[in-house]
Amino acid sequence: MGAVLTRAAPSLLRSRLGDRGFSRLLDITPASSLSFVLDTTGSMGEEINAAKIQARHIVEQRRGSPMEPIHYVLVPFHDPGFGPVFTTSDPDSFWQQLNEIHALGGGDEPEMCLSALELALLHTPPLSDIFVFTDASPKDAFLTSRVEALTQERRCRVTFLVTEDPSRGQGRGRREVLSPLRFEPYEVVALASGGEVIFTKDQYIQDVAAVVGDSMADQVTLPLEPPDVVPERPLVFNVDGLLQRVSVRIHGEVSSFWIRSPAGISQGPEEGQGSLGHTRRFGQFWMVSINDPPQTGTWEIQVTAESNPRVRVQAQTSLDFLFHFGIPMEDGPHPGLYPLTQPVAGLQTQLLVEVTGLGPRGSPEDSLPHFSHVILRGVPEGAKLGQVPLEPRGAQERGLFVASLPPTLLSTVGPFSLELIGQDGGGRDLHRASPQPCTVVPVLLELSGPQGFLAPGSKAPLTLHVASFSSPQDLNLRTSVNSSFSLTSNLSRVRLEQNESAWGRLWLEVPESAASNSVVMVTVTALGREAGLVPPTHAFLRLLVLAPAPQDQLAAPAHSSGPVFTSVSPTLRPSPLVTWGRAGGGLAGNPWWGTVGGVLLLLGLASW
């Protein structure tokens, strides 16, 4: 009976709830949150006004629609501070709080932008949009790698709207010369999250923010070939019959551009209505809205610019896809996939694809889109790394597919993107790209905590697991937590051979002053001891602080005095030991299996 329920539950839930309700149940609803990160220094008056107008516009535009946010987040920052975070599910409360923010004193750069963004990511649900308004570079650039990894773990798209000329060498409020690369951390985070960095000026910020905000609702980004502008070479993209409201955004030091349709009709940068669509310009930012319905086929864009311009093509469609990674598991209470945030070098990994918007339930199979394979591309150069065939799981209308990632991809650490390839019911080509790139990380790094919540004044044990499957690794392990919390670890360095694991213990002390209903994030970073050879790997754990009822209070366990090395079998038991063993053992019996089993049940990853 249990197996029957496991197989039937996903289909039953999805048929009763629909795509949107089913995804909300799994906390993977697109646009489930609207988050703003705002620079509040004295020079930010126009930007703050633009954020207020855009927030009000998004709230009113999406109210009552499937894209209406169910969560709102606001994080201000300046120098040297950031926060506090404001969260609510009430759009009117959000608007009231945002309306109370005004530009304060200060005005020098750099500022604590990435710290504020990290705080926003901590409180923002997965698959949400985050808008950052600033005119300064980050003072906390050392957080770049951690925030980059957190955006991918949370699957959140970050868009930076920067009212500053990146080539200007003298910062506002300061006389020293600033590096032209000072905005590079924003570029790194935007690329990792599937977002973008848009440089504009004060007088255009409201118009640019409105264009960008409108493009977030129910939109997909179409892949370009090549992905970046190359002199004297056109960018190519394809439009299928399920796309509408196609738009082309170009920004940078552009001298000219043209767009050509499959029929050979061209349109240049002139503002107003043209032969292909309507063009608006705000400084060095162009927006071309292609006439509906757009002609299907191959389109071209040619851009002439002095520097590296940015081009993004988006369209509205109901057909899109979500993806997950996992390790095939044959044992344990729920055979299926053990979920991973990112693929791990050398570890056999499967890709699960969930296609959304296939059409009404009960539609004839011959009228539904069919998907055959996924193309893997390197990031950011766009080189094809290979392709993997898709195997359907269950009925076609479920839209669930599984593929095995090729060993060649998993042998090299680095970012890659996914492109879903198929055909519609009429045999015409379909092409969808993942909203953000993925990364093959060098080691498996996992962090788990106690069941339930944390009580103020308590001490909580956390378990750390690190494993290498591709090559020997000599790693430093760094930990971090909210400033008011204390965190100790008995594992700060580890040397692993191929297919070897290590387990350690951390202790988190919650201060008596910790606010109830607050969220604390613990981060562990694995760094190669030889700088630059091994990119960092991050593990994140979010925990809730909640004052317990008197009958729920338990005595705090004793604190371990230090690491103890042993050759016991590698299981994640609640002990203060650093244990060693062969990588891959003990997955079925570790404390995560309760959660994993629930995920397997809901997603239907067990054998159907």
pLDDT in tens, 456-480: 999 999 999 999 999 899 999 999 9
The answer on pLDDT for 551 being more than 60 is no
Tens of pLDDT along 386-422? 999 999 988 888 889 999 999 999 988 889 999 999 9
C-alpha dihedral sign at 220, 186, 535, 30: negative
450/406 same-domain check = no
SS3 sequence of 397-413:
HHCEEEEECCHHHHCCC
Both tokens of 48, joined, read 């703050």
Residue 364 and residue 343: Cα distance in Å, rounded? 36
The 3-state DSSP class for residue 186 equals: helix
- Which domain range does residue 377 map to? 320-358+369-440
The answer for residues whose C-beta is within 8 angstroms of residue 349's C-beta and 6 or more apart is: 325, 326, 327, 340, 343, 404, 405, 410
The 3-state DSSP class for residue 67 equals: coil
245/374 same-domain check = no
Tens of pLDDT along 79-101? 788 989 999 988 889 888 988 88
Q: Which pLDDT belongs to residue 444?
A: 95
227/123 same-domain check = no
- For 421, phi and psi rounded to 5 degrees? -120, 135
Would residue 584 count as lying in a domain?
A: no
Q: Which pLDDT belongs to residue 243?
A: 94
C-alpha dihedral sign at 365, 608, 399, 352: negative
**Percentage with pLDDT > 90 across the chain:** 51
Counting the structural domains of the chain, the total is: 4
Q: Are 405 and 350 in contact (CB under 8 A)?
A: yes
| Radius of gyration of the chain, Cα coordinates, nearest whole angstrom | 25
Both tokens of 113, joined, read 């932008």
Q: Which pLDDT belongs to residue 363?
A: 55
Both tokens of 214, joined, read 């409108």
| Residue 150 belongs to domain with CATH number | 3.40.50.410
Would you place residue 205 in the very low, low, confident or very high pLDDT band (cuts 50, 70, 90)?
A: confident
The answer for residues whose C-beta is within 8 angstroms of residue 27's C-beta and 6 or more apart is: 125, 126
- The mean of the pLDDT values for the chain is 81
150/60 same-domain check = yes
598 burial (CB, 10 Å; 0-12 / 13-18 / 19+) is exposed
206/277 same-domain check = no
Would residue 6 count as lying in a domain?
A: no
| Residue 281 belongs to domain with CATH number | 2.60.120
Q: Which pLDDT belongs to residue 526?
A: 95
Which of these ranges, 360-364, 393-397, 422-426, 559-563, has the smallest mean pLDDT? 559-563
Q: Which pLDDT belongs to residue 268?
A: 95
Would residue 4 count as lying in a domain?
A: no
What is the Cα 502 distance to its own chain's centre?
Answer: 28
Would residue 591 count as lying in a domain?
A: no
Amino acid identity of residue 335, one-letter, is: P
431/448 same-domain check = no
Would you place residue 361 in the very low, low, confident or very high pLDDT band (cuts 50, 70, 90)?
A: low
Q: In this structure, how many other beta carbons lie within 10 angstroms of the beta carbon of residue 406? A: 14
Domain edge (last residue) among 501, 526, 545 = 545
